[in-house]
Amino acid sequence: MCVLCGEFVSQLHWTDRHVEDQARAAGSWGTAGDYQRTRRRDRYYRAKLTNEVLRFYGLKVGDWAGSKYVLRDGKGRSELVQNLGALWPAAQKLAGRPIDPLDPALQAAMCEAFNINAASTSKG
Amino acid sequence: MGSGKTTLLSKVLSAPSLSNTAVLINEFGKVGLDHHLLRRADEKTILLGNGCVCCTTREDLLRTLLELLDEEGRGELPTLDRVVVETTGLADPAPILFTVFSHPVLQHHYRVDLVISTVDAVNGELHLNLNPESIKQVAAADAIVLTKTDIAVAGAADALRVRLYGINPSARVFEAPFGEVDPDELLRPAANPYEPRPPGANPEGADPDTPGENARHVSRTHSTSLTFDGPINWTAFGVWLSMLLHARGEDVLRVKGFLDVGETGPVLLNGVQHVVHPPNHLEVWPDNDHRSRLVFIMRGIRSDELLTSLEAFRPLVGAGPRLLEANVPL
């Protein structure tokens, strides 16, 4: 149980499991510091990638106390979520519209944004 | 009615390799199971606040699985190797998976080995036509056992195989005439995510579907098999898939396969609607084909919608999707 928030930390979402499973498989956790650093790096990376999508909804996610994510709408509203499983429903609520990777409007926005990035990279 | 499930179960359980097995049944008095450790589970569920049917805890199952652990720990039971949970005819397997994966104690003491669905060779087509629940069971299955093939008409089993392949090309199909099937074969994990295509199965391959064809079939459950044109970013794929399951999890009956994530071995992914098994990162690939192979079983979502979505996410995921097969059940 997490002493900070009282939740079961064993409730890992399937997207968060790799770091813990790797540590278990290695038969050791390295030092506690190694594990925590790997876990934190993994979480930051996940937040960064998620933000690549959330920005199309005017939202942003950041690390909170190394254990949760804080989702913000840039207008003062925020919500704490445990993992990606909880993130999308919370984001949908804050965004006020459905969040769906099958949405052609999202895909069009992503294609435009990423193609522009790709073009500037190849020029540079 | 008797789908042949109990006969099959009693024959499978008679194998010596399955002697340390507990069986959870939904009613007592079933013939042939008397000599095994039997417990009754009455399929009560706790519905969580989000109202999602697959993410419900089977309260009865939870209690019984914890009791078994307790009794084993206290020495009141011999060591158990396996628990077989039998469900009623139209039950949804997802809550069973959810119960094991989400509970803080169960998830460390139990591993979901496989989902076995039975299809009656005599009435199977009718059930699939009339009952969406039976299609869900086929979609969720790792192994499908055709029962009563001894009394079904000639060709029924072959026709069913084609139909079942269209729904779930990743499930291994066994025939069990007189309830007979090799238990060790049945329980052996599949080496790769696809089964050989049965004679008569006619999937649409890399040629794009005409929109009219696709629309006509999409309300029915269908399967899409795809690969990627390179290794994918596992973290990014998790963002995409968790987003898809949030939006459309009820319609994504199954996601299963091997993913090349740029490591020495693949990631085994296995999801049933919103309930995803803890992904398994293997040390090595099972064979020489190191390409991703993923099956989606969906209803109400077209194959091309899925592919377009993954294509849009290519900058994050790192590789683009390639259709291998789109199966339209006949």
For chain B, domain boundaries:
1-112, 114-201, 211-327
pTM assigned to the model? 0.89
Q: How far is CA B242 from the centre of its chain?
A: 19
Q: Express as a percent the part of chain A with pLDDT over 90.
A: 58
Three-state secondary structure call for residue B308: helix
The verdict on residue A83 lying in a domain is yes
Does the residue A1 lie in any domain? Answer: no
Q: In this predicted model, which residue has the larger pLDDT, B280 or B210?
A: B280
At A116, the pLDDT band (50, 70, 90 cuts) reads low
| Cα A22 to Cα A56: distance, rounded to the nearest angstrom | 33
The larger pLDDT score, comparing residue B330 to residue A74, is at A74
Write out the two tokens for B308: 């377009």
Subunit contact A15:B243, Cβ cutoff 8 A = no
β-pair partners for B21: B82
Tokens describing residue A54: 């959330």
CA nearest B297: which of B168, B159, B170, B161? B168
Domain B114-201 in the same topology as domain B1-112: yes
pLDDT of residue B232: 98
Query: For residue B311, which phi and psi values (nearest 5 degrees)?
Result: -65, -40
Tell me if chain B has a CB within 8 Å of the CB of A95.
no
The first and second tokens of residue B311, run together, are 């294509």
Paired residues of B25 in beta bridges: B40
Interface contact A7, partner B, CB < 8 A: no
Count of the separate structural domains present in chain A = 1
Cα A12 to Cα B297: distance, rounded to the nearest angstrom: 25
Question: What's domain B1-112's superfamily in CATH?
Answer: P-loop containing nucleotide triphosphate hydrolases (3.40.50.300)
Dihedral sign of CA atoms B192, B198, B204, B206 in order: positive
Hey, what CATH topology would domain B114-201 get? Answer: Rossmann fold (3.40.50)
B242, A110: Cβ pair inside 8 Å?
A: no
Categorize the per-residue pLDDT at B33 as very low, low, confident or very high, splitting at 50, 70 and 90.
low
Report the distance separating Cα B274 and Cα B53, nearest Å: 9
DSSP string, B212-236: HHHHHHTTS-EEEEEEESS---HHH
CA–CA distances in Å: residue A44 to residues A12, A49, B171: 16, 9, 37
Element (H, E) at B135: helix B132-140
C-alpha pair distances (Å), B263 with each of A13, B156, B267, B292? 21, 43, 9, 12
Residue B206 pLDDT greater than 50, yes or no: no
Which residue in A59, A61, A71, A84 has the most chain B C-beta atoms within 10 A of its own C-beta, making it the best mutation to test that interface? A84
Backbone angles phi, psi at B215, to 5 degrees: -65, -35
Cα B162 from chain centre: 17
B308 part of contact set with chain A, CB < 8 Å: yes
Q: How far apart are CA B166 and CA B130, in angstroms?
A: 17
B210 burial (CB, 10 Å; 0-12 / 13-18 / 19+) is exposed
Q: 3-state DSSP helix/strand/coil percent for chain B, to nearest 5?
A: 35, 20, 45
Q: Do A18 and B234 touch (CB under 8 A)?
A: yes
**C-alpha span between B163 and B153 (Å, rounded):** 16
ipTM of the complex: 0.88
Q: Any CB–CB contact under 8 A between B109 and chain A?
A: no
Q: Which of B37, B4, B2 is nearest to B177 (CA)?
A: B4
Query: With contacts defined as CB-CB under 8 Å, which chain B residues touch A25?
Result: 281
Lowest mean pLDDT among A115-124, B34-43, B271-280: A115-124
Q: Can you give the residue range of the structural domain that contains A82?
A: 14-123
Question: Does residue B163 sit in helix, strand or coil?
Answer: helix
pLDDT score for B198: 84
In a domain, A84, yes or no: yes
- Give tens-digit pLDDT for B160-196: 999 999 999 999 999 999 888 998 889 887 766 677 8
DSSP letter assigned to residue A64: E
pLDDT value of residue B86: 86
- CA B303-B124-B100 angle, to 5 degrees, is 70
Q: How many CB atoms lie under 10 A from the CB of residue B159?
A: 17
Q: Where are the alpha helices (DSSP H) in B169-220?
A: 183-187, 211-217
Rounded CA-CA distance B298/B254 in Å is 7
Phi-psi region of B32 (alpha: psi -120 to 50; beta: other; left: phi over 0): left
Kindly report the nearest CA distance between residue B174 and chain A, in angstroms: 31
Tokens coding B110: 């139990």
Min distance B5 CA to chain A CA atoms (Å): 32
**Distance between CA atoms of B251 and B258, rounded to whole angstroms?**
21
Residues of chain A contacting residue B321, judged by C-beta atoms under 8 Å apart: none
Question: To the nearest whole number, what is the mean pLDDT of chain A?
Answer: 84
B244 has a chain A CB within 8 A of its CB: yes
Q: pLDDT tens digits for B2-21?
A: 567 878 888 888 888 888 88
**Alpha helix locations (H) across chain A?**
17-25, 32-54, 84-95, 104-123
> Which run of H or E residues covers position B246?
helix B234-248
DSSP state of A58: T
Say which CATH architecture domain B211-327 belongs to: 2-Layer Sandwich (3.30)
> Does the pLDDT value for residue A27 go beyond 80?
no
Can you say whether residue B179 is alpha, beta or left, with left for phi > 0 and alpha for psi between -120 and 50 degrees? left
